[in-house]
Structure 1
């Protein structure tokens, strides 16, 4: 998913799930100052997940920033990791060894880990420079901002995001005499559509992880496997940038909700799809072969975000061969989304310089450099236009951003500070729940409940 100038969710989720990041500190990969080229130079260090090539691709953003700020040298550095969880583990190791960067690009999966342990809030800077930032906030949906609030403070300015929409292979639909569903389709409509594909392509392909796994089916069933609450605070931010908007101080996930009746109902629905042959048994990780299978007409539908457009184009699929629809409605049509942005480390001695980087990268000029192709969905509404998708995007590309407008209760991936352990527990027990009969669902969700309670109890200890 990495392009020359950006690192997006497709690359980060395309290798393996986050299961490997749930170990203790003793299991974290060793990472010391010798692993960081140029450590000790007088430069603002910006760390990203990726390869040296990814860091080189972002250099044009650094060059443009330094042209405007010649007194602030910037070094873009990368850390290779299998996924976000592995990346976060390496960051924690760097902090423990005293070789931490000044700024880190991180996603929703790590937002609360950083907010609680590693990053500094941006509130004072935001309010001081409010006039400079009004253009950004006027262009960005408030749901994306709320996703990076934590206990009343804002820690990141989201730059790109992706909601879990439903991709449909139009070649598969045409071969089976099926039509593209409407925006108000339901779970039952979805099931019947899958039955119409049966015997041809794999009707539904999904992966066992937080994004695009079971969580979208929990959200549309008006539930989650975690207890979701909202924090107080943040009103000065909201009144300054979104006057009249009634929002919270951020999401809180405070414990297990795994034994909720609707969690069982959603899990059983997916198990029944697998049993009936309408869905594959989900694989771990991001599904590295998925783009090719979908592009070749062997998959009928799969959940994914706007990041998939560029990947399908690179896989040889034309815009006329696929389209995207909102996730089907169940009790609600609430969608899940993930976003990413830069966090300023609380240990940095260059906080003022780091803030200048944050402001610049949130500008439209910098975001156009960062996101020249639809390899993700920019958070600036004005950038999600026909010109971005011409020649590569599906007919209804506008649904990527419209998801936030049409379904205002849509929320971020449930990722508390203990996200790595939480996701490991979810992946393991969902896999077990889908491997047997209906009785196994109860046992697996009871085991998930025990695992989650242990995670939250350990955190409180």
Structure 2
């Protein structure tokens, strides 16, 4: 159980955001709908509108479980650490949620401090859960293992793929890239796009962020800015549900900064070359809000995105044949990056059995279908993606979204240790200076990044 003394509250946060916590108005019972009633409270990282959008899911669950009342509470925050801190404040105020939504960025933070492992529930209902795991790529499950225990079951994910404008590709006289295209072929494609484009044109647009920023270029080079290791344990799970996956583990471990290894420097040098040659966006200039418009008019040739972007392009009036999707090009390898999300049960919850029923329903075929009626995220269940993206909804090669996991089994989550917020800040604040000060500036920038990452990780 979590120690909820005042010292433990602030010590558990330990993320440089205590000032933010104490500046919030104190939460009281009146802040939580259903307070004082026997109700399962589900905290959602989002807005009130996001909570309303979950009502159909709540209705479906209560049809299956009429004896369990559910209330959704929306919690807004700048990042997962702020969301985490607000959850802690709710606990200290005596109004803790029973279930929380958590994405990859916050998974280990919650697993290490507040979440309850699902191991006993999964073992108990193994025969019932087999159908779900049979439908889900094991990489998505491993991303939610922590120190040998399972803390979440994914109900959505997005791999970082390359979306490209078919107009820009055709104008350059190019065909769809091969699935195993190389970095040299990527550069040749970008140059051909730029040469054939009238007016202002950007072959590759990207933003400085953890998902879809520099990480895809690190992963395809079999490297990362943190040293990736695997925890022991988890055999209880893998032997039962994925007996043909001997390489799977008890979860990812990111304890040491690794920004100075040669492969990291090579990947950053690639980005430096792209930006200096005018083939890629300078992330310091921003412009992400205009990306849909730029992409839809053919002013951008390629950009990293996932299945979620199909809905955004559709809402912007972009025809599904105006773009297509492929994999990131090969460097030393072709590993890809993904982010995923799901629900976690709070250690403090007195309603763990009811919470487990909620989790099971949300990953059921019915629950996942209700929660995702439009193509705003790839679904962990293979079987549901054809209905979501097929039949003229998504791009011609929409299968890439899930095939990224199946074709490249080493594909993994973005680096997100319990200190994720500080680590992400240490990475992102150094990216621009690392790639915009010429070839010689790459090493200097990475040295500063290494120092900041070590501080974020507590000296490691």
Using structure 1 for the length normalisation, give the TM-score. 0.91
Where 1:445 maps in the other structure, the secondary structure is: helix
Q: Which residue of 2 aligns with 1:405?
A: 406
Question: Using the alignment, how far apart are the partners of 1:317 and 1:344 within structure 2?
Answer: 39
Report how far residue 391 of structure 1 moved: 3.0
Q: Structure 2 vs 1, CA of residues 408 and 174 (structure 1 numbering), >3 Å: closer, same or farther?
A: same
- Corresponding position of 1:365: 366
Q: Say which SS state the counterpart of residue 329 (structure 2) adopts.
A: coil
Residue of 177, 181, 184 corresponding to 1:185: 181
Deviation at 1:97, TM superposition (A): 3.9
Distance 1:386 1:99, change over 3 A: closer
Counterpart for residue 145 of structure 2: 149
Q: Could you say which residue in structure 1 is the equivalent of 2:293?
A: 292
Alpha carbons of 1:178 and 1:86: their partners in 2 closer, same or farther (altered >3 Å)? farther
Of 156, 161, 165, the residue aligned with 1:160 is 156
Deviates more, 1:369-378 or 1:429-438: 429-438
Is the 1:374–1:389 Cα contact (8 Å) retained in structure 2?
Answer: no
Name the structure 1 match of 2:7: none
User: What is residue 40 of structure 1 aligned with on the other side?
Assistant: 36
Q: Which deviates more from structure 2 when the two are superposed, residues 146-155 or residues 69-78?
A: 69-78
Distance apart, 1:272 and its partner CA: 1.2
Residue 100 of structure 2 corresponds to 104
CA contact (8 A) 2:225 2:257 kept: yes
Corresponding residue for residue 258 of structure 2: 257
Q: 1:175 to 1:59 in 2, by over 3 A?
A: same
Displacement of 1:35: 4.1
Q: Say whether residues 1:30 and 2:31 are aligned partners.
A: no
SS of the aligned residue for 1:78 comes to strand
Equivalent residue, structure 2, for 1:225? 225
CA contact (8 A) 2:225 2:259 kept: yes
Aligned-CA RMSD value:
1.9
What's the CA shift for 1:386? 5.1
CA distance in 2, matches of 1:188, 1:275: 16
Matched, 1:118 2:119: no
Q: Is the 8 A contact 1:215 1:336 kept in 2?
A: yes
Output the CA distance in 1 between the equivalents of 2:421 and 2:388: 38
Structure whose alpha-carbon radius of gyration is higher: 2
From the superposition, tell whether residues 157 and 232 of structure 1 become closer, same or farther in structure 2 (CA, over 3 Å).
Answer: same
* Corresponding residue to 1:88 among 58, 63, 84: 84
The answer to whether the Cα contact below 8 Å between 2:80 and 2:421 also exists between their aligned partners in 1 is no
Note if contact 2:164-2:302 (Cα within 8 Å) is conserved in structure 1.
Answer: yes
Match of 1:212 in 2: 212
**What per-residue deviation string (whole Å, max 9, x for no partner) do you get for residues 211-242 of structure 1?**
00000100111110001000110101111111
Deviation (angstroms), 1:180: 1.8
Q: What corresponds to 1:171 in structure 2?
A: 167
1:48 Cα shift? Answer: 1.0
Counterpart of 1:10 in structure 2 is: none
| Contact 2:45-2:101 at 8 Å conserved across structures | yes
- Structure 1 residue 297 displacement after superposition: 1.6
Partner of 1:14: none
Aligned to 1:245: 245
For residues 291-310 of structure 1, the C-alpha deviation after alignment (integer angstroms, 9 at most, x for no partner) is 22212221110011111111
Gapped regions of structure 1 (runs ≥ 5): 1-20
Instruction: Give the Cα–Cα distance (whole angstroms) in 1 for the partners of residues 342 and 221 of structure 2.
Output: 29
Deviation track 1:75-132 (CA, whole Å, cap 9, x = no partner) reads 0111123444543343344344443211111110100001001101000000001111
- The one of 48, 51, 57 aligned to 1:55: 51
| CA displacement at 1:392 relative to structure 2 | 2.5
| TM-score normalised by L of structure 2 | 0.91
SS of equivalent residue, structure 2 residue 164: strand
**Aligned residues of 1:30 and 1:93 also touching (Cα < 8 A):** no
Instruction: Give the whole-Å Cα distance in 2 for the aligned partners of 1:297 and 1:23.
Output: 43
**Aligned-partner Cα distance in 2 for 1:46–1:135:** 25
Query: 1:286, CA displacement in angstroms?
Result: 9.5
> Contact between 1:58 and 1:370, CA under 8 Å: does it hold in 2?
yes
Contact (CA 8 Å) 2:430, 2:445: kept in 1 or not? Answer: yes
Q: Cα 1:241–1:35, aligned 2, differ >3 Å: closer, same or farther?
A: same
Q: Is the contact between residue 275 and residue 436 of structure 2 (CA under 8 Å) also seen in structure 1?
A: no
Note if 1:69 corresponds to 2:65: yes
User: Residue 158 of structure 2 contacts residue 378 of structure 2 at CA under 8 Å; is this kept in 1?
Assistant: yes
Once the 2 structures are TM-superposed, how far is the Cα of residue 171 of structure 1 from its aligned partner? 1.1
| CA displacement at 1:319 relative to structure 2 | 1.1
Report the Cα distance in structure 2 between the residues aligned to 1:79 and 1:283, rounded to whole angstroms. 30
Q: Give the C-alpha shift of residue 436 in structure 1.
A: 1.4
Count of aligned pairs between the two proteins = 439
Mapped contact 2:276–2:436 kept (Cα < 8 A): no
**Structure 2 stretches of 5 or more lacking a match?**
1-13
Residue 191 of structure 2 aligns with which residue? 195
